[in-house]
Amino acid sequence: MKRVGYLILYLCLGIVALFQIFPIIWLFLFSLKDNREIFSGSPFALPSELRWENYLKVWDSGIGTYFWNSLWITAMAILLTVLFASMATFAITRMQWKLNKLVLGLFMVGLMIPIHSAIIPLFSMFLNVNLIDNPWSIVITYTTYNLPITIMILLGFYYTLPREIEEAAIIDGCSINRMFFRIILPMTAPVMSTTVIINMIYNWNEFVFVNTFISSDMYKTLTVGIQNFIGQYMTDWGAIGATLIISVLPILLAFIFFSNKVVEGISASAVKG
């Protein structure tokens, strides 16, 4: 009976996984068709000819610029967010000072602020410092908005790191900065990988801030720049499908190769906490 139960469980999970992955497979096949196949044949039929030129067409038309902007903005925002969040969490959990609980509370208040409610104040602030239509406004916004959730994920792990390691490092003459970068930061690698992937998914898919703060095509990210291609290829649906596949490919690859790291990081944080 136990084996039958496992068989039924895996069968149900397989069916759910099939429903989850089917839209991606359908979109990939859709991107390899031309308009005649899309409108005259069955939407579930395989393409009679693999039209890879759809991908070359959209890439040569400028989507590579949007892809590169998304890549470096996402990477820079992740680097700053994880670094600042780790520093803040270390100061809050491992150092004794009067206002550490108040500072932690201020960071957690950030979780309750709706993103859209801050667009106008942010726009006014960036306008005053000449950061409108500047990609660094996006990097700063992503970094600050992701700090609270990143700190919250790191907290449980940091609270129960053995203090004996820090005491031994101090006895050996290690400074606070060196102890953080050479000892504490490497120890938090499992949970830090979780925060990296969560930040990547948010930053890569974000639309509202880029659409509000960026107007030049040379600075737009993939999620916003893809609108130009939908208008440009209004009658070429295969090219539109190729554009969509390119936009979701990095997230799919991150999920395939690093999903186990997310589970490990969450488990490590839960056990430590």
The backbone torsions φ and ψ at residue 228, rounded to the nearest 5 degrees and listed phi first, read -60, -35
Element (DSSP H or E) covering residue 59: none
Burial label, 113 (beta-carbon count in 10 A; 0-12, 13-18, 19+) = exposed
Question: Which one is predicted more confidently, 106 or 267?
Answer: 106
Give residue 253's pLDDT band: very low, low, confident or very high (50, 70, 90). confident
What contacts 67, CB < 8 A, 6 or more positions away?
222, 246
Distance CA 263, CA 239 (A): 36
pLDDT, average across residues 55-82? 90
CA distances 97 to 84, 86, 91, 101, 114, Å, are 18, 17, 9, 9, 30
- Cβ(198)–Cβ(148) under 8 Å? no
- What are 7-45's pLDDT values in tens digits? 999 999 999 988 888 888 888 988 888 888 888 777 778
Contact 88, 270 (CB under 8 A): no
Task: Say how many C-beta atoms besides its own lie within 10 A of residue 200's C-beta.
Answer: 19
Whose CA is closest to 74, among 209, 242, 240, 230?
A: 209
What's residue 233's pLDDT? 54
Count of Cβ atoms closer than 10 Å to residue 39 Cβ: 10
Q: How big is the chain by its Cα radius of gyration, in Å?
A: 23
pLDDT digits (tens, 9 = 90+) for 197-224: 889 989 998 989 999 999 888 899 988 8
C-alpha to C-alpha distances, 189 to 48, 93, 100, 174, nearest whole angstrom: 47, 17, 24, 21
Residues 6+ apart with CB under 8 A from 28: 241, 245
Q: For residue 273, what pLDDT is reported?
A: 43
pLDDT of residue 63: 84
Alpha-carbon distance of 96 to 112, in angstroms, equals: 27
- The least confident of 27-31, 61-65, 77-81, 219-223 is 61-65
Q: Which domains are delineated in the chain?
A: 61-272 (1.10.3720.10)
pLDDT tens-digit series, residues 88-139: 999 998 888 888 889 999 998 888 888 778 899 999 999 999 999 999 999 9
Mean residue pLDDT of the chain comes to 85
Whether the pTM exceeds 0.95: the reply is no
